[in-house]
Structure 1
Amino acid sequence: MSSKDGIGRRRLFTTAAAMGGTAALGGALGGQAHAATTREARTATGFGPVKVTASDAQYGELVHGANRRYVGSPEAVHLVDDVSQVAGVVQAAVTAGKRLTVTSGGHCLEDFVFHPDVDVVLNVSRLNKVSYDAGRRAFAVETGAQLLDVYTLLYEVYGVTVPGGICYSVAAGGHVSGGGWGLLCRPLGLIIDYLHAVEVVVVGADGKVRTVVATSDRNDPHRELWWAHAGGGGGNFGVVTRYWFRTPGATGTDPKKLLPKPPQEVYLSAVSWPWDSMTEAKFSRLVQNYARWFTTHSALGAPELALASFLVLTHRSSGQMAMVTQVDATVPHARAMLDDFLAAMGEGVDVRTGAVTRRFAEFGAMAEYAEPRRLPWLEATRYLGITNTNLTDPTYRQEYKSSYMRALFPDEQLAALWRHLTTDATLPGASITLSSYGGEVNRPAPSATGYPHREAFFKMMWMSLWNDPAQDADYIAWNRQCYADVYASTGGVPVPNDVTDGCYVNYPDNDLNDPRYNQSSTPWYTLYYKDNYPRLQQVKKTYDPKNFFRHTQSVRLP
């Protein structure tokens, strides 16, 4: 769920020395101590809440997200550009008995927002300000702010960052609430590990809307709402209007010391392996080499946490498999670490690597990185963000599945991967990406935040991207069959055990609800949330007792 605006779109950033005042966010806010919240001054150019219906020319552009498989038909789409406008839209929908969903831009991969039963869509993508809040000693990020804009403002002005995702136009809203992932996660952790507070518009049992600011402070009466938004998934409890970020335990008032600093420079590498040189034994060795390196080099404090990578196992019809690696260039022996990693990946494979000359998964060709290049961190971050064709091609149709891995691949899983990646079909848009985890991601306990996957060393993403609706059945069937075969021994899904650790809620998969595809005894909510689900249900009961905010895989009332 994030903004779909182009990379060239100019944004207004206000860096405030302090934010004061009280936000009267709609109707009856009750006597809650945190119902009122700070609010930045805005320019007079705001457009105010706008209601768009099917009679308006732009309606068709506002009823779908990045995945063109899902197009909604709501009665109206409401666009807001100030946090004070959100509560009124929500209250009107509650009063009228209308089902409402929220988009912070459109990168939800399932039908959670643009579902046929939805009456009203609240579009918060123009809530995109990033500022420093001196009162909270934290950085305020509105829910529609795109990640690359967040990184740019924080780094260019303060020299700091938050360890969020690669995709430039994913917005903070859904990304943060689902846990987030990025190339800095191994040395820094997840973006939610820096979440200090969240502002949420909720609906009470009496149908009245109020706004709550929940913080990580131990004595905050709303701390459970903060906990739930630190990885408990989007669209479950209310409308997030903004987040505040600060390093836990940070002291003082200097903004430059309240979030971590990214590497000043990084090495960036992209290499490929030609499919026509691969045998099953070589393929299995390559994939297992990746698993072995990250299960071996992910302990807290390990120098190798400076290295992150993603290996893209494309379908044979694409011609090449590819791997992108980033290393903090400022750590001792950084280039040697990268060279050793690349050598370890090729050990026993006996296939020479080359340049990435073709599209792989969501990325375009990266031939100029066959020899590692040393780049400023923000430049490398921009490059990887805008190289993502999934974000720059608005016609893609998509299908996703996910899993977390805690150990090496069993032989039967490697065999299943080979079988499905080497079918005779022409499916160049089908792929499986392995992404590195471990390190600081695994420092917190699984129960410390709503995000429970603190024991995995890498993550897998089944991704199919295509343009022609006539290919829907082929790509969807490939994803389903491959996934079911890889996890055949556990009912077709990666149940939490010594090898696998469930699924990633930010890559939602409605098939997990379906007994035809999930034949295990582990329900979808345990795959996403593990033992944290009952606690998330209690948060739901407290802050959304009417189950107003719901979708196909929303947290259910207890």
Structure 2
Amino acid sequence: MTVPSRRRLVAGTFTAGVAGLVGAGLKPASAAAADAPPAPGAAARTPGAADITPGDPRYEELATRGVNKRFTARPAAFRVATTTEEVVRAVGEAARSGRRVAVRSGGHCYENFVGDPAVRLVIDLGEMNAVSYDPQKRAFMVEAGARLMDVYRKLHEVWGVTLPGGASATVGIGGHVAGGGYGALSRRFGVAADHLYAVEVVVADAHGKARAVVATRKPSDPHRELWWAHAGGGGGNFGVVTRYWFRSPGATGYDPSGLLPRPPATTVSNAVLYPREGMDRAAFRRLVRNFGLWHERNSGADSPYTGLYGGLVLLSRLKENDPGQSAVSFAHVDGDRPDAERLLKRYVAAVTEGVGVTPHITEVARDPWLTATAALAESQDHEKGRQKIKSAYLRQALTDHQVDALYRHLNSGDHSSEAAHVSLQSFGGRINSLRPSATAYAHRQAVINVIFMNIWQDERADAENIGWLRHLYRDVFAATGGVPVPGRSSDGCYVNYPDLDMADADWNTSGVPWHRLYYKDNYPRLQRIKATWDPCGVFGHALGVRPA
């Protein structure tokens, strides 16, 4: 579903999990690394992966591939890998030469982990994009550079299954799944990482030797902790992910069509456009509180609404006279339910009740699931530019004080971007059926995820637009030191939306460290895994897991 609005960009906020944390800084190792043989079962490809340096006609395209135009990767060289063997060789060479390295799959990192000037080599996994069924593992193999929409299309058209990940077509699955990966089907099926059976990771041992390791979720697997860490522990912390295998827990048999979730045949959806005229502070409060309270009441794992994914996008006021919308609400419902349209209408009525303005409610649409997913992805990826993003998980509806802070900043003239917005999105449901310690993905008590985002084009407006978003976020969470401290009302931040401000004492005055916001009580275990699998500290970045 593409929702009409004054800005096509707005439709791009109707999803979750838009970006994977794909940057992994590799620091010099003290010991030399040896190249390893090809990983068992690696796809046969023509050896290549030569360095692409400035002056090569391919260099500029690789340098500008990232989505966030605030950052451009201009290392001494790019290495476009096509096999696990080539990644092992690149890591080994990096350890020997002491070159700082970063790894990229889809190029959607929101911070400068890949474009850091200290990075001398970028390993690009974009050509490692195969999707297939592995009968030996009874699981679907997906290489780390595969883009989400390509993965969904192949899984659905060949086997009739899918993964409950995000909607952006071009996000690479490598970082997306490592950070959890959630989207429109997650309330019904959990996050994408909940279906991870195995992962192939290129690691470096205490002697600096690079090798590929396959870790599974089997209790008897001696490498199981490495699997656990990659089911939500963030990208670039322990090694370079080259391949994933997916099979849902509890899935039995050998028929591939029964080993991952089957999406609904159709999706029922509509949107509600709220005019700016009449949207005063009281109306705005009511709208945002309606959305929050509905999710408090309807986000249990057994709720009939687990098949509903909705969002409320709050738009900033343009500096010019703006007759357009102040907010857009949307919802997608599992169309296979016989009561799908009734559930959708009840949801719309609950969110709009008592707001006091006359919204425009679009007609209910019923589309094939893949068609609706592709349309959502198209709107998601329409706009690119200079970006800043923040996130928060909520366990309860925002308070009136928090909503007032949103209202004040969204209606201010303190920025120059007409693409600034705050998007509240459905969470909970089956996501919360696991214990926070079941995987590294710890956010199992939230009912809403909030995305705070600004996109602009002019480099000269960086300070203005970043500053506006920082002050908005700080004021929304003023009661907890400017950040969503895990507790009664909030549940931290999403690691796939990395934000260096969480580690900056000027913007995080809570006394709660950044790693608790992203990993909660799972961080000490991640630190132990880091010490085991990256003993020389080869892998890392500005928000990377530190060994204990």
Answer yes or no: same fold by TM over 0.5. yes
Give the aligned residue type for 1:332.
P
Three-state SS of the structure 2 residue aligned to 1:387 is helix
Match of 2:392 among 399, 403, 413: 403
**Cα distance in 2 between the residues matched to 1:231 and 1:175:** 9
Q: Which has the higher contact order (CA 8 A, sep 6+)?
A: 2
1:413 paired with 2:365, answer: no
Matched, 1:473 2:479: no
4+ residue stretches of structure 1 with deviation over 6 A? none
Q: Determine whether 1:375 maps to 2:381.
A: no
Q: 1:113–1:551: 8 Å Cα contact kept in structure 2?
A: no
Write the deviation string for residues 187-228 of structure 1: whole angstroms up to 9, x where unpaired: 111101100000000011101001100000001001000000
Shift of 1:309: 0.8
Give the equivalent residue in structure 2 for 1:332.
338
User: Which residue of the partner structure matches residue 3 of structure 1?
Assistant: none
- Alpha-carbon distance in structure 1 between the residues aligned to 2:84 and 2:152: 21
Q: How does 1:15-26 map to 2 (within 5 A)?
A: none
Contact 2:204–2:239 under 8 Å retained in 1: yes
Assess if the C-alpha contact under 8 Å between 1:273 and 1:352 holds in 2. Answer: yes
Give the aligned residue type for 1:486.
Answer: V
Q: What is the deviation of 1:50?
A: 3.1
Instruction: Please give the alpha-carbon distance, in whole angstroms, between the structure 2 residues aligned to 1:552 and 1:83.
Output: 25
Other-structure match for 1:424: 413
Query: How far off its partner does 1:58 sit?
Result: 2.8
Cα distance in 2 for partners of 1:491, 1:243 equals: 38
Superposed, which structure 2 residues align to 1:186-205 within 5 Å? 186-205=187-206
Q: Distance in 2 between matches of 1:141 and 1:109?
A: 23
SS at match of 2:277: helix
**Amino acid aligned to 1:383:** A
Q: Which residue of structure 2 aligns with residue 354 of structure 1?
A: 360
Alignment of 1:217-232 (within 5 A): 217-232=218-233
1:520 to 477, 497, 510: 510
**Partner of residue 40, structure 2:** 37
RMSD: 1.5
TM-superposed CA distance for 1:392, in Å, is 3.6
**SS in structure 1 opposite 2:236?**
coil
Aligned ranges for residues 526-545 of structure 1 at < 5 Å? 526-545=516-535
> How far did 1:353 drift?
1.7
Distance in 2 (CA, whole Å) between partners of 1:312 and 1:303 is: 24
Does the 8 Å contact 1:29/1:209 carry over to 2?
Answer: yes
The answer to whether the 8 A contact 1:99-1:548 is kept is no
- Read off the aligned partner of 2:387 and give its amino acid letter: Q
Q: Distance in 1 between matches of 2:214 and 2:294?
A: 42
2:206 partner SS: coil
Distance 2:223 2:132 in 1: 23
What are the ranges of 5 or more consecutive residues in structure 1 without an aligned counterpart?
Answer: 1-25, 356-369
The aligned counterpart of 1:127 is: 128
Alpha-carbon deviations, 1:319-345, whole Å to 9, x = none?
322122100111131101101110111
2:58 is matched with: 58
Please name the residue that 2:472 is paired with. 482
- Matches of 2:214 and 2:276 in 1, distance apart? 52
Give the distance between the partners of 2:105 and 2:119, measured in 1 at CA: 16
Q: Provide, for residues 238-278 of structure 1, a one-character-per-residue CA deviation record: whole Å limited to 9, x for no partner.
A: 00001000011211111011111000001121221112220
**1:234 & 1:441 partners in 2: Cα distance?**
20
SS of the counterpart of 2:67? Answer: coil
Q: Which secondary structure state, in structure 1, belongs to the residue aligned with residue 193 of structure 2? A: helix
User: How far off is 1:351 after superposition?
Assistant: 1.4
TM-score w.r.t. the length of structure 2 is 0.91
TM-score by length of 1: 0.89
Which amino acid in structure 1 is aligned with residue 489 of structure 2? V
State the match for 2:288 in structure 1. Answer: 287
Q: Which residue of 2 aligns with 1:4?
A: none
Distance 1:490 1:465 in 2: 27
Counterpart amino acid of residue 60 in structure 1: E
Q: CA deviation at 1:153?
A: 0.6
Whether the aligned pair in 1 keeps the contact of 2:301 and 2:431 (CA below 8 Å) is no
Distance across 1 between alignment mates of 2:34 and 2:242: 16
Unpaired runs of at least 5, structure 2? 1-32
Distance 2:52 2:479 in 1: 49
User: What's the counterpart of residue 216 of structure 2?
Assistant: 215
The superposition leaves residues 67-110 of structure 1 with CA deviations (integer Å, 9 ceiling, x where unpaired) of 01012331111001222211011111110011111000200110
Which amino acid in the other structure matches residue 52 of structure 1?
I
Corresponding position of 1:83: 84
Q: Does structure 2 conserve the Cα–Cα contact (< 8 Å) formed by 1:268 and 1:380?
A: no
CA contact 2:163–2:192 (8 Å) conserved in 1: yes
Separation in structure 1 between the aligned mates of residue 332 and residue 513 of structure 2, nearest angstrom: 36
Tell me, in whole angstroms, the C-alpha distance in 2 between the residues paired with 1:399 and 1:190: 24
Partners of 1:130 and 1:330 in 2: CA distance: 27
* Deviates further, 421-430 or 379-388: 421-430
Count the aligned residue pairs: 509
Please name the residue that 1:450 is paired with. Answer: 440
Provide the C-alpha distance between the structure 1 equivalents of 2:374 and 2:246, rounded to a whole number of angstroms. 21
Write the distance in 2 (CA, Å) between the matches of 1:337 and 1:137. 36
**AA partner of residue 481 (structure 1):** H
